[in-house]
Amino acid sequence: MKKQAFNPYLPSWEYIPDGEPYVFGDRVYVYGSHDQFRGHAYCLNDYVCWSAPIDDLGNWRYEGVIYPKTSDPLNKAGNMCLYAPDVTVGPDGRYYLYYVLDKVSIVSVAVCDEPAGRYEFYGYVHYADGTRLGEREGDEPQFDPAVLTEGDRTYLYTGFCRAGDRSRSGAMVTVLGPDMLTILEEPVFVVPSEPYSEGTTFVGHEFFEAPSIRKRGDTYYFVYSSIAMHELCYATSKYPNRDFIYGGVIISNCDMHIDSYKPAEKPMYYGWNNHGSIVEINGQWYVFYHRHTNGIPFSRQGCAEPIQFREDGSIIQSEMTSCGLNGGPLIGKGEYPAYLACNLFCKHESMYTAPEGSWMDSRFPKITQDGKDGDEETGYILNMRDSATAGFKYFDCHGIKRVSIKVRGYCMGAFEIKTSWNGEPLGSIPIGFSNIWEEYTADIAIPDGIHALYFTYKGEGSAALKSFTLI
């Protein structure tokens, strides 16, 4: 039986950012880095893989560890992290995994005979003389590899460029030969960093990190994270290694720039960095991206949304939703966990989870879980203080007359239920202090039709929201 598809699309206790989705056979596979719950740094865990049938995108299967971080000869002690990877099918039909460790600036490669088997270390990308890419004088550091194989040539895209850093030129592409390691054509720059964007189409959305590459028809789509960090942008070209032109924003993990349901520059979630790509599944294109949890940058979860192309090939920016891969709104009836919130904000407005040098404090609501990393504990929303709002999109509602919520915490007040972020309440559910999850119910009629649902806390103290039920 097909399951409804949610955001995040994996279980709430799994933290797989930097998602690179691919369809192999009748399944879609997602490769990414692997954060820890409440981690102190990015990408602390081994690479794992998840997959789902292409016709049942709510039914994800854990494929297990595909590559331990100690597999790289440079990382036998496991003191380096596995940063964002990518996978491509080589001319020999095998699957090649490209990645960079966090303390070196060279590209490592592993190989496997199947999409989600156990990958084995294969080698390092190098010039014909054996010098590793990133170690020759004049080389810029390698970071976030993305790969596209066409025939006997593999295009390797890399780069990391902070705003103002004149030592980094932008995103580069290097052409590899059929052995998947040896450089045929040396790096050339295809998308500029901020210091070198003057006179280009990229001003204001210069390359920061997270390159990814896809081809649609005869057009190459270069997906990347801009200097704004929270947005995934794209550039297009008819060639894989030149003439890219800025296209626009595909998704923002705080919904910036969207003015269809709120002011364009109002953040509706707490963003930070972003990384993902686009993929066609059963005739529909999607963007995969990640969101931040726990009020820190280091516990990221994968999300996905459908995208639409205009006739000229440009992409319309997608909203963050709770139902991204579902093919439409969720059933407007029954119980839903609170971690599905796609909007999360309060009166203390912030675009990022953690401004430089600080951590998001208890003023701000955040998605979290109980237990420790690896515990299969369902997520919930913590720090729901006065004005805190959790938004869920979208639900096809019919005949809903009552709403219940599960709450715990040192709190005394009520949750208002609305169908728009700043709309008039349809009703409210009074709550009180409890050390355990307590269910509260009120008679609240939701109009028939497709709606967003917003839960706004008004009162004293701090509430934790576990779930809501439409009755």
Are the C-beta atoms of residues 396 and 322 closer than 8 Å to each other? Answer: no
pLDDT of residue 441: 98
Catalytic residue among 14, 35, 206, 209: 209
122, part of any domain: yes
pLDDT tens sequence across 240-255 = 999 999 999 999 999 9
| 194: DSSP letter | G
Whether the per-residue pLDDT at 32 is higher than 70: the answer is: yes
pLDDT at 431 over 80: yes
| Phi-psi group of 170: left, alpha or beta (phi > 0 → left; psi -120 to 50 → alpha; rest → beta) | left
- Name the domain boundary from 328, 363, 397: 328
Share of the chain above pLDDT 90, in %: 97
Averaged pLDDT of the chain:
97
Which residue in 278, 253, 398, 389 sits closest to 330, CA to CA?
Answer: 398
Task: Write the pLDDT tens digit of every residue in 130-157.
Answer: 999 999 999 999 999 999 999 999 999 9
Q: Residue 26 above 90 pLDDT?
A: yes
pLDDT at 106 over 80: yes
> How far apart are alpha carbons 102 and 82 in whole angstroms?
7
Residue 370 annotated in active site: no
Whether 50 maps to a domain, the answer reads yes
Same domain flag for 200 and 66? yes
Distances, alpha carbon 375 to alpha carbons 40, 42, 316, 437, in Å: 17, 19, 38, 19
Give the range of the structural domain holding residue 95, as residue numbers without chain letter.
Answer: 20-328
Same domain (yes/no): 61, 138? yes
pLDDT at residue 159 tops 90: yes
pLDDT at 359: 73
Output phi, psi for 219, to 5 deg: -115, 135
Active-site position among 14, 18, 194, 319: 18
Residues 94 and 216 in one domain: yes
Looking at the fold, whether 323 and 437 belong to one and the same domain comes out as no
Nearest to 141 by CA among 105, 108, 171, 194: 105
Task: Name which of 119, 122, 184, 127 is nearest 155 in CA terms.
Answer: 184
- pLDDT tens for 174-231 read 999 999 999 999 999 999 999 999 999 999 999 999 999 999 999 999 999 999 999 9
Q: Report pLDDT for 357.
A: 60
Please report, for the domain that includes residue 45, its CATH number.
2.115.10.20
In a domain, 5, yes or no: no
Report the pLDDT averaged over residues 113-129: 98
* Strand pairing class (389-397; 330-332): parallel
Q: Would you state the pLDDT for residue 287?
A: 98
Structural domain count of the chain: 2
Q: How many helices (H) and strands (E) does the chain have?
A: 0, 33
Report phi then psi at 390, rounded to 5: -115, 125
pLDDT in tens, 348-391: 988 998 766 677 888 899 999 999 999 999 999 999 999 999 99
SS3 198: coil
pLDDT in tens, 276-323: 999 999 999 999 999 999 999 999 999 999 999 999 999 999 999 999
User: How far, in Å, CA of 24 to CA of 437, rounded?
Assistant: 42
Helix (H) or strand (E) run with residue 389 in it: strand 389-397
Do residues 137 and 162 both lie within one domain? Answer: yes
Single residue among 310, 328, 346 that ends a domain in this structure: 328
Give the residue from 290, 273, 287, 124 showing the smallest Cα distance to 209: 273
Same domain, 153 and 249: yes
What CA–CA distance (Å, rounded) separates 361 from 354? Answer: 9
206 catalytic? Reply is: no
